[in-house]
Amino acid sequence: MATNYPGSLDTSGSQLRTDIASTDDMNASGKEHHLMHVNVHGAAIALETKLGTGSSTASTGAVLMGTGSGASAWDTSPTILGALTVGADGSGHDVTFYSGTAGDSFVWDSSEEKLTITGTNGQVALAVADGNVSIADDLDVDGTLEADAITVDGTALSEYIADTVGAMVGSNTETNITVTYEDSDNTLDFVIGTLNQDTTGTADNVTVSANNSADETVYLTFVDGATGSQGIESDTGLTYNPSSGNLSIGGELVAASLDISGNIDVDGTTNLDVVDIDGAVDMASTLTISDGSVGSPSLKFSGGSGDDGFYNSGNNVSLAIDGVQAMYAIKSSSNVSIAIGAWSGSVGSDKEVYRNSVYGTLYTSSSKRALKDNIQSISGSGAIIDALNPVTFIAASTEGETEDQKAWRERDLIYGFVAEEVAEIADGKLALYDVDGESLVPSNWKTRDMVAVLAAELKSVRQRLTALES
């Protein structure tokens, strides 16, 4: 005997019998014990073959589908000819369909009772090639709705809106205003009759139209009084041009304060009692201010005591600090002098100002004993005098020098010393220096120091002359 599977079930005759009782003789014809074992084994092999081996070997993602009467096969793209039901009424299941693009899907969420299509931005996620789409409930569109034509109850949307507005306006008539709806071109015709306004009454609102570009002169209107029923007037001296944005005033502008975010162009004279400027000042011409005084400088600084700044006093320009003359500059003949302290009234009578050759600072000098340490008599003055090379010279020419300037310079013979030569004498202590990068370079010679050296040598010569004479 052999199994009938898969042709038919082994339930008859000598196949896998189901009528064998526990008391039957297992050697009886058709019930032999060994034959039943053979038939069960054959049926098991046939079932294994169909489910996973041989020509019907299962593959990933395949389902077992019927291929004919009494036949089946594993199929990765099955075709279901009958109805497909997932779940039961009131107890459904989620269904997901994936596309060939990661992240795209077609999902039926049974718990939320919602169908969600997730596509690629810019691509059509749902396309109905033919046929109609009928929605019995509401349609909520968060994005752009594009339609070739929209109708409302069979009427085009544009016509439906026009008819609705026309009916609303056309059916409402006001005194002296008639509105007619032209259905042929979807327009409203307003006919306004003569308006008889009671000028003695009041109006809460006035309708104003914008005019931001017309190149024309318009006149600003005013009322006669601050409150109550007032007449309206205009002034030809106060006009505005919308095209240029210019406001023209024929008289003076009087204001408690004026805040201008743009530029101010004043062709005439500006008389200001006080000027407070927060930003930079750019002037194309001369700024002229009053002379001022030590107690009230013409040019003040915002900090300090209020009396800090610059002023002009007769023939000098001075710096005032806390109401006191601290420094001044004065021109005498062709020379300009800078002095520390108060002006004494004559050139040369004030303290002499010096410049520190290392730090570039200005200072005054005093020869008081109390200001000196390690006082010693000058020695070696003769060697210094012998090393000095007194010369005459004229100033070097400058770029752009005129012929008159050149002639004056060549006539001006100067007696003195060369700074670089003086720096080689007495360990360079008789020279003044300037800072050039990280180095000190000779710039001049010390007049006061040189006088002291000459005096020491003169004293030595007189002492020796006195000894010879005696």
Whether 9 shows a pLDDT value over 90: the answer reads no
What is the C-alpha to C-alpha distance for residues 121 and 127, in angstroms, rounded to an integer?
15
pLDDT attached to residue 80: 85
pLDDT attached to residue 456: 92
- The mean per-residue pLDDT over the stretch 443-450 comes to 88
pLDDT attached to residue 210: 79
Highest mean pLDDT among 33-42, 199-208, 320-329: 320-329
- The mean per-residue pLDDT over the stretch 411-428 comes to 92
Regarding predicted confidence, which is higher, 142 or 1?
142
- The reply to whether omega before 442 is within 30° of 0 (cis) is no
Angle subtended at Cα 135 by Cα 131 and Cα 139, rounded to the nearest 5 degrees: 125
What is the C-alpha to C-alpha distance for residues 457 and 383, in angstroms, rounded to an integer?
9
pLDDT attached to residue 54: 46
What is the C-alpha to C-alpha distance for residues 65 and 72, in angstroms, rounded to an integer?
5
C-alpha atoms less than 13 angstroms from C-alpha of 355 in its C-beta half-sphere:
12
- The mean per-residue pLDDT over the stretch 229-257 comes to 84
Mean pLDDT for the chain overall: 80
Domain ranges of the chain: 1-58, 155-192, 255-351, 375-469
pLDDT 10s digits, 191-219:
776 655 555 666 666 677 777 788 888 88
Compute CA 72 distance to the chain's CA centroid, rounded to the nearest angstrom: 72
- The mean per-residue pLDDT over the stretch 81-91 comes to 87
Range in 64-68, 72-76, 273-277, 354-358 with the lowest mean pLDDT: 354-358
What is the C-alpha to C-alpha distance for residues 91 and 95, in angstroms, rounded to an integer?
13
Regarding predicted confidence, which is higher, 135 or 349?
135
Strands (E), 157-251: 177-182, 187-192, 218-223, 232-241, 246-249
pLDDT attached to residue 466: 93
What is the C-alpha to C-alpha distance for residues 43 and 52, in angstroms, rounded to an integer?
14
pLDDT attached to residue 315: 72
- The mean per-residue pLDDT over the stretch 4-28 comes to 65
Amino acid at 185: D
pLDDT attached to residue 123: 86
User: For residue 92, which of 117, 106, 112, 116 has the smallest C-alpha distance?
Assistant: 112
User: For residue 343, which of 311, 368, 366, 365 has the smallest C-alpha distance?
Assistant: 311
Name the DSSP letter for residue 395: P
Per-residue pLDDT band at 13 (split at 50, 70, 90) = low
- The mean per-residue pLDDT over the stretch 129-141 comes to 87
pLDDT attached to residue 418: 94
Q: What are phi and psi of 311, to 5 degrees?
A: -155, 165
What is the C-alpha to C-alpha distance for residues 464 and 470, in angstroms, rounded to an integer?
10
What is the C-alpha to C-alpha distance for residues 51 and 74, in angstroms, rounded to an integer?
8
Judged by DSSP in three states, 433 sits in strand
pLDDT attached to residue 106: 92
Helix (H), strand (E), coil (C) string for 116-130: EEECCCCCCCCCCCC
User: For residue 460, which of 394, 386, 349 has the smallest C-alpha distance?
Assistant: 386
Per-residue pLDDT band at 338 (split at 50, 70, 90) = confident
pLDDT attached to residue 305: 64
What is the C-alpha to C-alpha distance for residues 453 and 160, in angstroms, rounded to an integer?
116
- Decide: 115 and 107 in contact? Cβ < 8 Å: yes
What is the C-alpha to C-alpha distance for residues 301 and 312, in angstroms, rounded to an integer?
16
Per-residue pLDDT band at 454 (split at 50, 70, 90) = very high
pLDDT attached to residue 334: 56
C-alpha atoms less than 13 angstroms from C-alpha of 396 in its C-beta half-sphere:
2
Per-residue pLDDT band at 57 (split at 50, 70, 90) = low
- The mean per-residue pLDDT over the stretch 153-182 comes to 77
Per-residue pLDDT band at 390 (split at 50, 70, 90) = very high
Whether 31 shows a pLDDT value over 70: the answer reads no
